Structure 1
Amino acid sequence: MAIDALRVMLVQADAVLAERLATEIRSYGHVVVGPFADMHEAIEVAATVQAAILDMAVQPETGLWLADSLQRSDVPFVFLTERGNAALPQRFKGRHTYPRHRHAAPLLADLHGQRQNLRPADDDSLGAIATQMMQRSRRIMPDDPSAERLVEATLQRAVAQRTAGRAPDDVGDWLLRLLDQEYRLRGRTHLH
């Protein structure tokens, strides 16, 4: 079923359901981050995931804060709740909800669909590349200002290298690699 393997955060209140869902997710070739029965633990690793399944029975107030953060970072996620959309604040009314006892396949299909909708139609345009850079930066940096500084530093490096004549044909892939290098080499300098 899975086209691209994802790092899927699983937040689930029930240990038995969590293990069943985690096993199913892994069987489709994805990496499970968690499962977590505590939102605070999940929040600590949220920047490293590509998708999330959030059980609203786990610390609902903190769960909404995590959902806000994922939404700002364009990370696909779904809610597990027995109450459907009625239990969600207005800002999440368009989000899909599933019963807590749901199998992984429809959840993963939904998450993949959300990822597809995030990708710009023209992946080679500079606007699409900039969007991808910001999305990746927001996943790895703790806040928007530091994410913006990381992208800005990456673009400065790219301009310097391009001026020196070292730009490959696939500019998008090259810029994303430069972003990863900038994060590894100087990520902390962009925090303040």
Structure 2
Amino acid sequence: MTDAEPAGADEGVAGKRILVVEDEMIIAMLIEDILTDMGATVVGPAARVARAMDLLGTEDVDAALLDVNLAGETTTAVAEELRRRGIPFAFATGYGVSGLPAGFSGQPFLQKPFQERDLSQVMAQVLA
């Protein structure tokens, strides 16, 4: 894919079940490929908030990556449910910290566009 990862970079991700909430199919497929290569199992991806909530109700999830905006629908409800359950997560956004929902400014986030290394680092941070 892209740059080589330092040894051990994927240890925290391998074996984990990661919920992916992303409405852009190509980006969702890229995230899924990267996470799978890192040894994770992808739950989803979910392109809508309702689907993400359904998956949270039926699947075991160790962590999540949430696009902030799904075709005009924010993922704040999903983030609140993850927080309530104590499931670690990061947002994905092209707007930086200013694009995060109110009350989540300290949450880890993946800046779009991203490289494989960036996703690996954010997920390691989330799962640390």
State TM-score, norm by structure 1: 0.54
Q: Which residue of 1 aligns with 2:30?
A: 20
Q: Which residue of 2 aligns with 1:52?
A: 64
Q: Which residue of 1 aligns with 2:10?
A: 2
Q: Which residue of 1 aligns with 2:5?
A: none
Q: CA deviation at 1:97?
A: 2.2
Q: Distance in 1 between matches of 2:10 and 2:86?
A: 20
Query: What letter corresponds to residue 46 of structure 2 in structure 1?
Result: F
Q: Which residue of 1 aligns with 2:124?
A: 112
Q: CA deviation at 1:104?
A: 4.1
Aligned residue runs from structure 1 range 13-92, under 5 A = 13-47=23-57, 48-58=60-70, 59-60=73-74, 63-92=75-104
Quote the sequence identity (%).
25
Query: What letter corresponds to residue 127 of structure 2 in structure 1?
Result: R
For structure 2, the residue ranges without an aligned partner over 5 or more in a row are 1-8
CA contact (8 A) 1:76 1:111 kept: no
Partner of residue 99 from structure 1, selected from 98, 108, 111: 111
For structure 1, the residue ranges without an aligned partner over 5 or more in a row are 117-192
Query: What letter corresponds to residue 28 of structure 2 in structure 1?
Result: A
Q: Which has the larger radius of gyration?
A: 1
Aligned residue pairs total: 114
Q: Distance in 2 between matches of 1:93 and 1:73?
A: 19
Higher relative contact order, structure no. (Cα contacts within 8 Å, ≥ 6 residues apart): 2
SS in 2 for 1:85: helix
CA contact (8 A) 1:11 1:42 kept: yes
Aligned residue runs from structure 1 range 151-190, under 5 A = none
Which has a greater percent of strand?
A: 2
> CA 1:106 to 1:76, structure 2 compared with 1: closer, same or farther past 3 Å?
farther
